[in-house]
Amino acid sequence: MLRLTKKADYGLMALKYLAEEVAANPANAASSAKEIAEAYHIPPQLLAKILQTLAKAGLLVSHAGSTGGYGLARAADEITAFEVIRAIDGPLFITSCITIHGTCDLAGHCTIKEPLRKVNDSIKDLLNGIRISDLIDMAETDRSNTGAAVAGGLVSIAI
């Protein structure tokens, strides 16, 4: 089973929250980590660290002051789920043979490297095709269905 980390889940939830806030009230440019944490029952200190990571990655902007908080650095339809996951968890590789450090010792004899690279690329393409704005649309669709929600999160793939 391939799953997102809790940190990636929380990051996606936070960006979805910020996108919904902008859609509901365009003048409301920032939300505090505390507001987001309370809305989704996320540990506030953990969420604060995640939001800082996303700001460093250029996906969020931080607004200082008593009315400050975090806002989206770009429009919700310009930020992909892959960008968020990569910013929080680093590069996405489903096997240890496909890494940023090169190939493993068995690369010359491996018979599954290419098929697994294709799987990895497919997952990357799928996540690059999901925008933060799509998460809002998915949530509205789930509410209007008769309980047919996506199980557990954005991506769950049985392998």
Number of domains the chain contains = 1
Residue 109's domain is classified under what CATH number? 1.10.10.10
Q: pTM (2 decimals)?
A: 0.79
For residue 30, the model assigns a pLDDT of 87
Give CA separation, 130 vs 22, 58, 81, 114, in Å: 19, 18, 6, 25
pLDDT tens per residue across all 159 residues of the chain: 567 899 999 999 999 999 999 888 887 778 999 999 999 999 999 999 999 999 999 999 998 877 789 999 999 999 999 999 999 998 877 666 655 566 666 667 778 777 888 888 899 999 999 999 999 866 555 555 544 433 345 554 444
Range of the domain at 57: 2-157
Q: Are 81 and 132 in contact (CB under 8 A)?
A: yes
Which segments of 4-96 are extended strands (E)? 60-63, 69-72
Predicted pLDDT at 60: 97
Residue 92: which region, alpha, beta or left (left: phi > 0; alpha: psi -120 to 50)? Answer: beta
The full 3-state SS of 77-124, as one line of letters, equals HHCEHHHHHHHHHCCCCCCCCCECCECCCCCCCCCCHHHHHHHHHHHH
End-to-end C-alpha distance for the chain, whole angstroms: 6
Which residues are 80's β-sheet partners? 131
Strand partners, 31: 70
